[in-house]
Structure 1
Amino acid sequence: MTTVLGIVLSLVFLPLGLAKLAAAPVMRQAAAHFGMPVRLYRVVGALEVAGVAGVLMGLTWTPLGVAAATGLTLLMAAAAVVHLRHGDPLPRAVPAVVVALVSLTYAATAMTAG
């Protein structure tokens, strides 16, 4: 189960993190929508990519995976708050909440498995 969740998290966060790091036009638009400088959005992308690396390495060293998944959970909780504070409708925050729950599930599963 932990492996499947790790792969799911990687498939979600890696493309998004890389797009933020590359300052893809859609990510520049998102940053502008949130009133966030592109440089800060790139930091978020770097955190997402680092989280993916930690989750994948955590498949062999559990404490790292748990720490990375916890970080991704907090990052997504913050993303949901940012969506709501900027007046986005509730459905726009739901993906961040769902991914936060997947990250949290990964951490809990990893802790109980190993």
Structure 2
Amino acid sequence: MTTAQTTLAVVLVLVFLSLGGAKIAAVPFMRQAAAHLGMSPGLYRFVGTLEVAGAVGLVLGLASAPLGVAAAIGLALLMTAAAVVHLRHGDPPVRALPAAVLALTAVAYAGVAVGTG
């Protein structure tokens, strides 16, 4: 395991635990985001659950590289879908940028993990 892999994992875990947890808890700004995108609170909580599960997979991936790679790919796909949802909803591209950056970060983690495995 490299420093790059560990650093990327830590960053992704912190982001997805906080964002996923906020979605699951249905904090006000997340409820507003769900309403803005036309998503039910239940669906938004499900997305949050996927984010938290992906973060847990990244933590476990520090001990088992294939699990970490699978979690990173899942998170990359989830964030790609989030970016598409924002763009299809008519949001300006800057609103899709955080999801796109997280998707690319997850892909970078997977690449580093595969390259060192």
Task: Tell me if both proteins adopt one fold, taking TM over 0.5 as the criterion.
Answer: yes
Q: Which runs of 5+ in 2 are unaligned?
A: none
What is the CA RMSD across the aligned residues, in angstroms?
0.5
For residues 1-114 of structure 1, the aligned pairs below 5 Å read 1-114=4-117
Q: Percent identity?
A: 63
* Superposition deviation, residue 34 in structure 1: 0.6
- Structure 2: which amino acid aligns with 1:79? A
Shift of 1:44: 0.3
Counterpart Cα distance in 1 of 2:25 and 2:96: 23
Structure 1 residues without counterparts, runs of 5 or longer: none
Q: How many residues align?
A: 114
* Structure 1 stretches of at least 4 aligned residues deviating more than 6 Å after TM superposition: none
TM-score using structure 1 length? 0.98
Query: Whole-Å Cα distance in 1 between the matches of residues 97 and 31 of structure 2?
Result: 21
Q: CA deviation at 1:87?
A: 0.7
